[in-house]
Amino acid sequence: MDPREAKQLEHAEYDTAGNDEDAPKGPTTQWVSFTIEGETYAVDVLKVQEVLKQVDIAPVPGAPPYILGIINLRGNVVPVLDTRKRMGLPPQSYDESTRIIILDVDEDSVGIVVDSVAEVEEVSDDAIDTAPGASNDEGSRFIQGVVSTGENLLILLDVERLIAREGAAKRSA
């Protein structure tokens, strides 16, 4: 190959690589995104069993304060967490957009209440930044990573930490 052809090939490769900015690079994972307090969060789609509209939740005496109660899901008893309380956010009354995301974690089902469910996002593993560790926010300990999506941030939650009981979380840390 003469130097001129090599230069053209190099230029063509550079141009092609630059035209595909939005395509995911490397392995990707899918995340179910939802909002709480105006922020966009997401959980790994492989952990999501289903999404429900708001249903009656039976209180459980003696449960931790962030446990709203239990629901009957096709004959299975499923505990439901108040995600806002768990993350140290102010309470909000439920509306038509409120959803319960049923998660499957270690073969157990657990529900988390969210303000609304958005969509399934495909995220390049290379685009995930580590969670900022400097925050004193109650909810920051549940953050697995963050992804910049244009002008917004997608906050990826660590489901296992979110649903872990306080004593269990401290023992395993």
Q: Tell me the DSSP string of 109-136.
A: EEEEEESEEEEEEEEEGGGPEEPPS---
Contact by Cβ (8 Å): 52, 100: yes
Q: How are strands ordered across the β-sheet holding 48-53?
A: 48-53, 99-105, 108-114, 76-81, 67-73
The fold for domain 27-172 equals: OB fold (Dihydrolipoamide Acetyltransferase, E2P) (2.40.50)
| SS3 label, residue 163 | helix
Q: Rg of the Cα trace of the chain?
A: 21
pTM for this structure? 0.77
pLDDT of residue 33: 96
pLDDT of residue 2: 45
Of the candidates 143, 145, 63, the one whose C-alpha atom is nearest the C-alpha of residue 110 is: 63
pLDDT of residue 173: 37
pLDDT of residue 61: 94
Distance CA 101, CA 43 (A): 10
pLDDT of residue 151: 81
Domain residues of the chain, as ranges?
Answer: 27-172
Contact by Cβ (8 Å): 1, 97: no
Distance CA 144, CA 130 (A): 7
Tell me which residues of the chain have a pLDDT lower than 70.
Answer: 1-25, 132-139, 166-173
